[in-house]
Structure 1
């Protein structure tokens, strides 16, 4: 018996300008208690829920990527199963060129050549957390479905920083989030506005962006595409398949530090040894500068004493006295007074 039906609908403008919902296709489940359906994200306080996209290929429709608009339900009864109506909207992907497409079109290029520089910025389609539609027409979490993305795992399309090219089709990345990191969290750092200004989408978002190295992940080249960035003229923008946007030198240092803390190796890795040597060198430099200042003062004092010695010799000669004898007499007198 039919237990669940999932219908996919699209809003179209019919004859006379009337707006109607057209069924693109449906999935029917028999003797299945629950089925995975697109999940509508819950909006967090003060935030707009992020958009959700699904991939679905329908007969006679060229479009395959859709933006989720809503999910409605119809209760099951003796005559019909639970019906989930998923309203979707076409999403244009004609200007999106994923990394695997770039590599396929140019056999000379490799992932290492394009993304070999640590700190290169990319966008990653992680996917979306789904829900389960049940025979009672209720939607619940998909916590039992470990073969899908689960709540709290990295999801949606987001900016990311390349950490390492693992192989020709696997890239290690650190994702970027707009959620403020906890104070004192050394596993993350904030991107400079000058870096965000190179990418229109993030330049004008009105949000800060943080690289979170505590959520490192290896992703397929099929999930990676270049972020929309400005071309050399500074006006036009598009997806540069040469992946020319990267962290600044200062941000690269922050990335290395965050990676060290993310793997819990900050107490003994070479980075820490170098840091300690640098601190010692800085301390020695302060000592050198202090001694140099003292030497300069002593040199000035010696110069003054030399002038006094010359004056004393001149006076001794003018008075018919022996300078060396008079100096020895004065030293003996000083020694006697100290005693």
Structure 2
């Protein structure tokens, strides 16, 4: 007995009249099954439009395989009539999309390590989409019991991500990027610089901030990875550069390392390179201290010598003052006269 029918439809425009109509591309029929996984329409968040959903479906005599979900409508099962879910979809052009596995397959001399091995390289990742459970009463529920699919709250949809490490030839560890503001005080995430986003038109003009989530690390296949659309050297044309040239800045790389440390709870750990840099600074400061100590010792010695000279001449000055007084002379005037005379004689 047929219990659920899923129909996939596409809107076409009549070339003569220009009138739109919906045609059936294909049908899935479920016999004696009370639930079927169907494309899930995302629940919009307050004040925001729902994110786009794409599905892969290959129909007979249709070359296109990637489709954008437009809507899902349904009618409940009545008597011997099955529940019908009508899924309206629209063709999506993938001609300019080159995934990492395609690049590696095309050029055998390349490896994932060579292309994206640098930590901080920016990529896009197709995580997939959360489906829903369609039932015979025409309702759509969460797919919580289907652990073999992506579940709600798990990372999903296509999004920008940062390469953390190339695990193997076909597996890469990435940290995803979100436009959702991070929790205040969350040190496992950080905001990307606008200068970095400006290298990619899609994110440059989105009007949204971007945050790297160190706490959402995930290993993904190279079949899910493709380069983000970026500017080419002329600064005007854009496309997916298969050399993966877009990356975080040096400052952002430091923020990434810090975020990863906080994400795994290793805040007491200090990287070796940081310790080395501190030691270098300490050594330079010690060298400066030693130099200043030598200069201070020289100044003290000079001051001591002058003090001793002053102490030695003090009795002579007292004797000269007594002689001047006994002869009725002004000591200060006589002293100035002798200084002027010595200056004239070049002494």
Superposed displacement of residue 204, structure 1: 1.0
Superposition pairs for residues 255-266 of structure 1, below 5 Å? 255-266=256-267
Following the alignment from structure 2 to structure 1, what is the Cα–Cα distance between the partners of residues 167 and 275? Answer: 31
Superposed displacement of residue 288, structure 1: 8.0
Superposition pairs for residues 235-246 of structure 1, below 5 Å? 235-246=236-247
Following the alignment from structure 2 to structure 1, what is the Cα–Cα distance between the partners of residues 131 and 318? Answer: 109
Q: Number of aligned pairs? A: 319
Other-structure match for 1:149: 150
Other-structure match for 1:4: 4
Moved more, 258-267 or 82-91: 258-267
Distance 1:233 1:9, change over 3 A: same
Following the alignment from structure 1 to structure 2, what is the Cα–Cα distance between the partners of residues 104 and 92? Answer: 22
Following the alignment from structure 2 to structure 1, what is the Cα–Cα distance between the partners of residues 277 and 202? Answer: 39
Other-structure match for 1:336: none
Superposed displacement of residue 265, structure 1: 2.0
Superposition pairs for residues 98-247 of structure 1, below 5 Å? 98-247=99-248
Other-structure match for 1:310: 309
Superposed displacement of residue 182, structure 1: 1.0
Distance 1:244 1:280, change over 3 A: closer
Task: Give the TM-score normalised by structure 2.
Answer: 0.84
Other-structure match for 1:26: 27
Q: Report the secondary structure of 1:264's partner residue.
A: coil
* Structure 2 segments unaligned to the other structure (5+ residues): 321-347
Q: Report the secondary structure of 1:103's partner residue.
A: helix
Task: Give the TM-score normalised by structure 1.
Answer: 0.86
Following the alignment from structure 1 to structure 2, what is the Cα–Cα distance between the partners of residues 92 and 25? Answer: 20
Superposed displacement of residue 298, structure 1: 7.4
Q: Report the secondary structure of 1:97's partner residue.
A: coil
Other-structure match for 1:325: none
Please identify the structure whose Cα radius of gyration is greater: 2
Moved more, 196-205 or 298-307: 298-307
Distance 1:286 1:108, change over 3 A: closer
Following the alignment from structure 2 to structure 1, what is the Cα–Cα distance between the partners of residues 205 and 266? Answer: 36
Q: Write out per-residue CA displacement over residues 210-230 of structure 1, whole angstroms, 9 at most, x where no aligned residue.
A: 111111111111100000001
Following the alignment from structure 2 to structure 1, what is the Cα–Cα distance between the partners of residues 66 and 36? Answer: 20
Superposed displacement of residue 75, structure 1: 2.0
Q: Write out per-residue CA displacement over residues 217-247 of structure 1, whole angstroms, 9 at most, x where no aligned residue.
A: 1111110000000111111111000001111
Following the alignment from structure 1 to structure 2, what is the Cα–Cα distance between the partners of residues 292 and 70? Answer: 77
Other-structure match for 1:13: 13
4+ residue segments displaced more than 3 Å = 273-321
Following the alignment from structure 2 to structure 1, what is the Cα–Cα distance between the partners of residues 297 and 102? Answer: 72
Following the alignment from structure 1 to structure 2, what is the Cα–Cα distance between the partners of residues 278 and 102? Answer: 39
